[in-house]
Structure 1
Amino acid sequence: MVTGLGDRLKEARKAKGYTLDDLQGITKIQKRYLAGIENEEFNSMPGSFYVRAFIKQYAEAVGLDADEMLSLYKGSAETIEAEEEQQLASPTLTRRRSRHSNQLNEIMPKIIVALFIIVIIFVIAFLWKHNVSNTPKVPISSEDPIQVEDQPKSGDIGQQKENTEETNDDANVEDEQDKDEEVAEVEKQQKLENINIAGEDSTYSLENSEEFKLEIRTNGPSWIGVTDENRTERTPGARIMQAGEKVEVDVTDTEQIRIRVGRPTETEIYVNGELLEYASDTVPQNIIIDYQKE
């Protein structure tokens, strides 16, 4: 969708006597992104947030009204994003159906084996019951001597009672210890939950965890950037990750992490092995995790 935005910026640049190389030096924006703005090829850029920032810097550098240029871009942004989502939806749906089919194929042999084992157990139980019912009873002969066991003395009975009580006390102590260990294990279980949503920001709280490790996987092109509370980049660099890529980073030394996600539908974030559930469908969005250290 051509809006005239690119032509106006290009004409203003030429009127100033700037080349794309000159403009790159002034704005610190890569030349290929400047050319993309002039050609209105916004799909080649990291995301709408960066497109708006680049347009504003470009307009100010060539002496145009930044708000007017942004209004021209806004008219086409919704149409562009709708087309992108429609293109991404089809392969994502196909991939999910394929995944469900593969899971069913993996589970089916296990179900068949389980049913076979159940049938075998049923047959064995039936045969055993049938044999027991057909076993002849042996009559007791009156000539067989009847043996009377010696009755325990009163002192022996008391000793046995004391031993039984001691055994029960030991068992109760072990049960209480097991329960305490189970309660402690539950209390230490990691807790990751969403606590706030504001615009593009979704804030989460991480508790009951001695470490803070991230694993980010992409199923399709997605802009990824990870910074800490000091705005320090914690990955080799913010960039567009392609399908099948994965990045791991240990951020246990931080108190807060901000993950800029270009396409949440194509990005999986794991926190200490636990898959983070997106609380917002905003595109793009910032995932902010506050690490509550013990």
Structure 2
Amino acid sequence: MLKFVQSVDVKNQLGEAVSWHQPSQTLWWTDIHGQLLYRLDWQKQIVSHWALPQGLTAFTVLDTKPIKILGSFKQGFAYCWPQTGQLEWLAKPEAHIEGNRFNDGRLDRQGRFWSATMVEKDLGQPRGVLYRLDGSSCVPQLENLRIPNALCWSIDSSVMYHTDMPTREIWRYQFDPVSGDVGQGEHFATVPKGEPDGAIIDSDDHLICALWGGSALARFSPKGELTGVFELPVSRPTCVALGGPDMNLLFVTSATDGMSEQALANEPLAGSLLVYEAPFRGVAEAEAVGHG
């Protein structure tokens, strides 16, 4: 069971990409549509945010003084200094494709940054691609995606997990941690309700996934067995992270995007950051390699 600790009422349109930064004991996340980057100093309980020049979809913190991030923005990969709004583009692999934007991404355990494009307009066309960023080069690894999500890796890096949300299925792929190449894929699990959104791997090598439209989180064993469903007070949870001083705090971002006034009235915590004490623990994030 999860024990509710607190909520941070930020009313995010599309909260996403939440992650715990171990060196500074801070939590970071983005509001993609709000074009905002958030930081929660856990010890001081201070929330800060910065306006961004473009919607940030996934990122990793490279430095905190001053703040520098590496991320996928809607149009491509870039460095960003949010305190000044400076943006330095690295690659825009799909600048020529109208209706696509970047979505879910994260570092693998070897410190390489990944992100995938989704079809924001004309959803019936599966033309999204999962890219691995090698320096400033984008290496396609999975193609024909609609809404890519749930990207994460097993503790030993032999498996990469990924979903195309509308299928409701999470897949597992053979993964070469040295080259970063994705191999053969197979069905891993089908979510019990909603659609699989952001996911992480905990210290037991279980996958924890936000269930968009399902008002819950799901937890799966390495064999794909459903080991827990955790109900939430929000219908659109988007992403999860484990962190805190003991790595047992579960953080959940959520969204208000597309909800009616009546739905928002019925769901006062929609768009909030939710914090729970969990019976499982997290694994520290890797540090980016090759991005000073």
Per the normalisation by structure 2, the TM-score is 0.21
- From the two aligned structures, give the one with the greater helix fraction: 1
Could you say which structure has the larger radius of gyration? 1
